[in-house]
Amino acid sequence: METNSSETCPLYIAGTWRTAPKHPVLPVHNPSRGSVIGGVPMCGAAEVEEAVAAARAAFPAWRDTPPNERAQVFFRLKILLEEAFEELCLGISIEHGKTLSESRGDLRRGIEVVEFACGIPTLLMGESLENIARGIDCHTDRHPLGVVAGICPFNFPALVPMWMWPVAIACGNTFILKPSEKVPLTMQRVIGLLEKAGLPPGVMNIVHGGRECVDAILEHPDVQAVSFVGSTPVAREIHRKGTSHGKRVQAAGGAKNFIILMPDADVDRTVEAVKDGAFGCAGERCMAGSTAVAVGEAADRLLPALADLVSSMKVGPTDVKSSQPDMGAVISSEHKSRVSSLIDAGEAAGAHVLTDGRAVRVDDAPDGYYLGPTLIDHVAPDNPLMETEVFGPVLAVMRATSLDEAIVEANKQAFGNGAAIFTNSGKAAREFRRQVSAGMVGINVAVPAPLAYFPFTGWNDSFFGDLHIQGKEGVEFYTKRKTTTTRWFSFGDGEVWAK
Ligand code: NAD
C-alpha cells in the first residue's frame, strides 16, 4: 500500500477499481510541503448511476446474508486495520497535515466504529410481546433501507467516513461513498482492506467529485438515505434537497464551541486541556473549543499560563515518522489565508493578540500551509471572529462577569455542537449542563466527542435531521422497522396436533 502515490484516485464500482478518464482532475496536496501527491476525478451523474446500479444489484444478496455473517467481515477488517495501522496513519498525516498522534486518534476512533459494527446481530434485535390480545402476538424487527450514501468532509479522513459505512453495511445496506476531494486517499486504502476482508462486490462503492456528483446522489430515486458531514451551509442544503427527493437525511454541519473557564478551575490541567481542545488538529475539528469565556478572575488565573503554553508549541511537517511537531499544517493555502484574514479582522475590531500565529515560519518546509497557534483576548460579542466558524488554530477569548452571562454568550451562537466548562463546582457544572444550548457537553473535558457507542448529538445549526450519526441512533437511521401481528386460528387436522 503506497502512502505517497501521485496517481489519480480510481473509482470503486461493483468490486472493480477503475479510472474515470473523462473528467477534470483536482490535485490532492500534502499540506506539510505544499506539494501535489495525487489527483481526484470530478465525476458526475454517469458514475453515480453506475455506482447506484452496482449497489442496487448487490443489495438482495447482502440483505439476505445473516447478520452474524455480515459481522464476520468487520471482525476480519478490524484485524487488517490493526496490521496496517501505522502505515494508514502516516498516510492520513501526509494528505491532511495533522500530526501522527492525531492521525492515530482519527483512525482509532474509526476502528471503534468497526468494533461496534461487529456487534450488529445484537444491535439489530427486535422487540416482541406475546398475547397482546387473546391468541395474538406482536413483534417488530429491523430491515435495511437499500442503497444508502455518505458524503464526507476533509478534517477526519478516516473517522468521519467510518462513522457511516461500517454501521450502514453491517445493517444490510449497500453503500455509495463520496470522500472529501481534499483527502480521498485514506478511504481508498481502507476500502481496499474492506475488499480483502471479503465484502462482496457492489456492497461498497466509491465515487469522487464535488457538487455535481453530490447532486446526482441526492436526486437519484434509488438512493434511500444520505449521511452528510461538512459545513453548515452545505449541510442545510443537502438536508433540504435530499428530503425533498424523499430520502432520509442526517446532515452534520459546522460549529463554534464555547469553553467556559470558571475562577475555581484547576489551573494546570485546565490550561493543558484548553490548549489541546483549541489547537489539536490545528483547530480543524467540529468539536474544537474555539471560544473561551473567562468568568471573573479566571482570566487573571488562567490566561498567562495558557499564553505561555501556547507560545511554546512547535509547528512543522507531519509527513515523517521522526520528530513530530505539536501542530501540523492547515488543509490548504486558501484556508490559511482565510484564517489569517479573520485574525486581522478580529484584531482590527479591537481584540488583543496574545500569541500570533500569522507569521510563523517553518524553515524545513517553507511551502507548507502553516499557521501558528493564535490566542486572541478581549474579543467582543460583535467582533467579526464571532460571526463565523474559523476552523483553524485560533482561540478567541471573551470576558464575562458571571456564569449566567457566559452561558448567554454561548447560547447566542447559531451552532450547537459542543460546549465545555472547567470548574471545581458541581453546582456550576450542573447549571451549565442544563442551560447550555449544545448537544455535546464537557465537564472539565475540552473536546466532549462521544465514542462509537454513543450518538454524535449536535444541535441547532450543527445538525439537520432527526437521527444522529453513530451509536444506536446510527442503527436506527440505517434501518426501518416492520411490526408483525400474528394470530393462528386452529391446530392442524388430526390427532398429532390436538392437545
Ligand atoms: P464542506 O462543506 O466544504 O464539504 C463537505 C463535503 O461536501 C465534501 O465532500 C464536498 O465535496 C461536498 N460539497 C461541498 N460543497 C458542496 C455543495 N455546494 N453541494 C454539494 N456538495 C458539496 O466541508 P469541509 O470543508 O470539507 O469540512 C469542514 C466542515 O465540516 C467544517 O464546517 C466542520 O465543522 C464540519 N464538520 C462537522 C462535523 C460534525 O459532526 N458536525 C464533523 C466534521 C466536520
What CATH number does the domain containing 78 carry? 3.40.605.10
pLDDT at 87: 98
Q: pTM for this one?
A: 0.97
- Are 173 and 206 found together in one domain? yes
The closest of 93, 203, 75, 100 to 157, measured between CA atoms, is 93
- Which atom of ligand 1 lies nearest, measured to the CA of 179? 9
Residue 395 in this model has a pLDDT that exceeds 80: yes
pLDDT at 2: 38
- Are 360 and 247 found together in one domain? no
At residue 195 the predicted structure's pLDDT band, cuts being 50, 70 and 90, is: very high
The closest of 209, 145, 199 to 177, measured between CA atoms, is 209
Is 490 domain-assigned?
Answer: no
Is 222 domain-assigned?
Answer: yes
- Are 270 and 143 found together in one domain? no
Is 307 domain-assigned?
Answer: yes
- Are 297 and 421 found together in one domain? yes
Quote the cell numbers at residue 270: 485546565
Number of domains in the chain: 2
- Are 66 and 15 found together in one domain? yes
Q: How far apart are CA 356 and CA 373, in angstroms?
A: 7
Residue 499 in this model has a pLDDT that exceeds 80: no
Distance from residue 493's CA to the centre of ligand 1 (Å):
64
Taking CA 80 as the corner, what is the angle to CA 78 and CA 81, rounded to the nearest 5 degrees?
65
- Are 95 and 199 found together in one domain? yes
- Which atom of ligand 1 lies nearest, measured to the CA of 234? 2
Distance from residue 146's CA to the centre of ligand 1 (Å):
24
Residue 1 in this model has a pLDDT that exceeds 50: no
Task: Please answer whether residues 136 and 485 qualify as being in contact, where contact means their C-beta atoms are separated by less than 8 angstroms.
Answer: yes
What CATH number does the domain containing 283 carry? 3.40.309.10
Is 144 domain-assigned?
Answer: yes
Across 19-34, average pLDDT? 94
Is 454 domain-assigned?
Answer: no
Is 330 domain-assigned?
Answer: yes
pLDDT at 3: 37
- For ligand 1, residues with CB inside 6 Å are 151-156, 160, 178, 180-181, 210-211, 214, 229-231, 234, 252-255, 286, 389, 391, 417, 456, 458, 462
Distance from residue 180's CA to the centre of ligand 1 (Å):
8
- Are 110 and 17 found together in one domain? yes
Is 453 domain-assigned?
Answer: no
Distance from residue 202's CA to the centre of ligand 1 (Å):
26
The closest of 127, 133, 187, 198 to 156, measured between CA atoms, is 187
- Are 225 and 294 found together in one domain? no
What is the spatial order of strands in the sheet that 16-18 belongs to? 16-18, 11-13, 204-206, 174-178, 147-151, 223-229, 248-252, 463-464
Rg, C-alpha atoms of the chain:
25
Is 450 domain-assigned?
Answer: no
- Are 247 and 268 found together in one domain? no
- Which atom of ligand 1 lies nearest, measured to the CA of 252? 41
Residue 5 in this model has a pLDDT that exceeds 60: no
- Structural domain boundaries, residue 201: 11-253+469-484
- 89 is annotated as an active-site residue: no
Residue 454 backbone phi and psi in degrees, to 5: -110, 155
Q: What is the pLDDT of residues 232-242, one digit of tens each?
A: 999 999 999 99
- Are 239 and 297 found together in one domain? no
Residue 393 in this model has a pLDDT that exceeds 50: yes
- Are 64 and 180 found together in one domain? yes
- Are 102 and 169 found together in one domain? yes
At residue 6 the predicted structure's pLDDT band, cuts being 50, 70 and 90, is: low
